[in-house]
Structure 1
Amino acid sequence: MPGRLDLAVGEWKRVAPRYVVVVIVGSLVSGLVLSAIATFLWLVAGWSWAWVALIVIVAITVIQLIIAPRRARAIGYQLREDDLLFRHGIMFQRFVSVPYGRMQLIDINRGPVGRVLGLADLKFVTAAASTNVSIPGLPEETAAELRDRLVELAESRRAGL
């Protein structure tokens, strides 16, 4: 089919390997907070079923920690001629194509763990509310260079419309 997207063409760029630490810390913090709430409900509030919630929370946290490296490796992007192609997901893969001419804002975000590791997230805002594309775990220098390049490409494409 001539109009079909060929995902095998081009080189996929991946996020920094240090991004796994960000995913692990996020999973641990969430698991600890939820475990503390379940423990409080069980021991202090007297909710007898809260121990089941605690076991489920611990199991989900352990699973998240096990698959964290694979989740980080599944994130990638390609700069193509007319658009940026982004992918993520293990079981349910999502591919998003963002045309350069539709990019309205390109934002760099840095969380506390990412700042310590020298990582940043690149977030794209387009006219479509459902796009919601964010490339996490880029080295700060790479994120700044990519933002500048994408702003340049977006401005040139919008000028050509």
Structure 2
Amino acid sequence: MKRFISTAVTTVSLMSLLSTQAFAQTKPSTITAFLDRLGMNYEVQKDGRISILAGVEGNRTQYGFIVPELGKIGNNDVIAVMSFSRISKTPPDAEKTKQLESKVNDISSGWATVSKEGMYATFYYKIIPLNKDPDLARKDIIELLNIADTEEKNLGSKDTL
């Protein structure tokens, strides 16, 4: 499972590189300094990806991941934060996927599903500017984790992610 999550994060990183927004390789220190400013608990993995774990509603926990590349939108440096809601050997239900996508009303966030090696991962992501007010940025990250966890409950009920 850890290998698949790593592969999924890498796939998302590659998708980001191919998107219209330019993401440049950066040392995690810029991102970790931002997380330190927010008071977030995190761990930098050997491959540079950054994982965060936080308590969410209902005495559950939820992992989030930060793509280890810094993006640029206009003059703003941004990071991509994501959290998985479902990892399975079966594709997600198309109707449930449409329902997830219809709940997104913020242009800086959304749902995506990636597949590799016969596994499917559904995750929620959000783009967060590094110059955002620390209290609001922290709130955005916690909200992202809560949204992903809520859908994890709806899609499978176990607190595994």
Instruction: Give TM-score scaled by structure 1 length.
Output: 0.30
- Which protein is richer in helix relative to its size? 1
The structure showing larger relative contact order (alpha-carbon pairs under 8 Å, at least 6 residues apart) is: 2
Tell me which structure has the larger Cα radius of gyration: 1
- Which protein is richer in strand relative to its size? 2
